[in-house]
């Protein structure tokens, strides 16, 4: 299959089956968040300063920088953070209307909890993370 045929197949599938709960946020964390910010700043021009609100189980409070998508159509924001006690990983967050209910359903389907439901310090959102049956970590984000 050619690259153009693959692209058309993907585009056609997207039209037939729209995503009901879109990816709304992604995070990249590691033990050296300043190094990650320098790396992604040099690679993509992501230059947010640390200090954005974050759930303590996700990143050290003073190490988290939130990169808003700007004018890019369909883009999602990316947070970069972590700290010496955090595992390196990239996580995307799915926007849901009820974080607790979706985490419970994920567990019922064989997932395990990585970050239990928590509210950001500024009260702006509730988040959770789970590991799917293969070990991939996925986040949930929703209203308080």
pLDDT tens for each residue of 52-105: 999 999 999 899 998 888 776 677 888 999 999 998 999 999 999 999 999 999
Instruction: Report the distance separating Cα 95 and Cα 110, nearest Å.
Output: 20
User: Per-residue pLDDT for 10 more than 50?
Assistant: no
39 pLDDT higher than 70: yes
The arrangement of strands across the sheet holding 89-95 comes to: 65-67, 78-82, 23-30, 89-95, 137-142, 126-131, 112-119
| Structure token pair of residue 88 | 């390196």
Confidence of residue 15 (pLDDT cuts 50, 70, 90): very low
Alpha carbons within 13 A on the beta-carbon side of 69: 11
- Structural domains in the chain, sorted by start: 21-142 (3.10.180.10)
Residue 44, pLDDT score = 78
pTM above 0.95, yes or no: no
What is the per-residue pLDDT for 5? 54
């Amino acid at each position: 299959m050619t690259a153009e045929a693959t692209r058309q197949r993907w585009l056609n599938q997207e039209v037939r089956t729209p995503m009901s709960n879109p990816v709304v946020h992604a995070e990249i964390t590691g033990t050296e968040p300043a190094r990650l910010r320098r790396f992604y700043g040099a690679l993509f021009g992501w230059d947010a300063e640390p200090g954005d609100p974050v759930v303590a189980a996700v990143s050290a409070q003073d190490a988290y920088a939130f990169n808003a998508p700007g004018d890019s159509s369909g883009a999602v924001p990316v947070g970069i953070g972590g700290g010496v006690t955090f595992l390196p990983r990239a996580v995307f967050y799915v926007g849901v209307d009820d974080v607790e209910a979706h985490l419970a359903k994920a567990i019922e389907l064989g997932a395990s909890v990585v970050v239990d439901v928590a509210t950001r310090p500024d009260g702006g959102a509730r988040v959770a993370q789970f590991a799917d049956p293969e070990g991939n970590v996925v986040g949930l984000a929703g209203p308080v």
